[in-house]
Amino acid sequence: MSINVVEKIDAFVTVKHALVSVSDKGGLDTFVPQLLEINPGLKFFSTGGTYNRLKEILGDRAETCLTQVSAYTGQPETQGGLVKTLDFKIYLGLLTETYNDAHQADLKRTGSVPIDMVVVNLYPFKETISQPDVTVEQARGNIDIGGPCMIRAAAKNFIRVAPVVDPADYGRIVSELRAHDGRLPLDLRFRLAGKAFAHTAVYDRAIADFLADRSIEDVRGCYRK
């Protein structure tokens, strides 16, 4: 397999497209308007409950700057939100490189856009398994798939994308954007990437530990056979 080697990147990246899909919606009511104030042309993509929350926050502005992921991809969300963001257009937007002609051709061919920021936090797995008498099925239902995939893709491509997994970072991101005319510097994108991979590692460790601590009888007891 040939691995593409990147030799040119931008020290600062303007945030033009952001994908927001969070379980913890705290801080969005401040963060999202601030992002739009700094970059008035910013476009948001979102899903499910986060989309509805952003519509409330943005009010009349939502018509021009907010798009449901299903409308962008052309694929409706499956029952219960099982599949929302696992789509070729989303991952092109996350993984493409600015100075790669083939990547840019793929964006044009598919009508995709580069996504510059991903604001994602995950289904509350640890909170779920901390409940007394939690079942394997309840835990299984709170294993996030799309969220970790987006976080990892954005973090891998920190040369162009900012992965944001912690609402505590919203203030610093806004400060950096204001200091650099709506652009995010490489050093911040790099630090956010490290934090993002740590976040998914802890998440996966919690799942692995929970499953290792359960017997097959715990599993069989959840389902009709």
User: What would the pLDDT profile of 80-105 be if each residue is shown by its tens digit?
Assistant: 555 666 788 999 999 999 888 888 89
CB atoms within 10 A of CB 19: 26
Please tell me the distance from the alpha carbon of residue 184 to that of residue 13, in angstroms, as a whole number.
Answer: 5
What integer is the mean pLDDT of 64-93? Answer: 81
Indicate whether 133 belongs to any domain: no
Structure tokens at 30: 């401040």
Residues 125 and 139: beta-carbon distance below 8 Å: yes
Rounded to two decimals, what is the model's pTM? 0.91
- Domain total for the chain? 1
For residue 101, tell me if it sits in a domain.
yes
Band of residue 144 on the pLDDT scale cut at 50, 70, 90: confident
Lateral strand order in the sheet of 117-121: 66-68, 43-46, 17-22, 117-121, 162-164
Q: What is the pLDDT of residue 79?
A: 56
Main-chain dihedrals φ then ψ at residue 118, nearest 5 degrees: -120, 120
- Nearest to 63, CA basis, from 50, 48, 81, 44: 44
Percentage of residues in the chain having pLDDT higher than 70:
94
Asked, for residue 100, whether it belongs to a domain, the answer is yes
Listed as own residue / partner, the contacts of 98-106 with beta carbons closer than 8 Å and 24 or more positions apart are 98/9, 98/10, 98/160, 99/6, 99/8, 99/9, 100/4, 100/6
223 in any annotated domain: no
Compute the distance between CA of residue 49 and CA of residue 12 in angstroms, rounded to an integer.
31
> What is the 8-class DSSP label of residue 182?
T
> What pLDDT does 78 receive?
63
Task: Give the residue-averaged pLDDT of 17-44.
Answer: 96
Average pLDDT, rounded, for the chain? 91
Range of the structural domain that residue 165 is part of: 12-124+145-191
Query: Is 99 contained in some domain?
Result: yes
For 103-115, what is the mean pLDDT? 92
CATH code at 107?
3.40.50.1380
**pLDDT at residue 141 above 90?**
no
Q: Within a domain: residue 225?
A: no
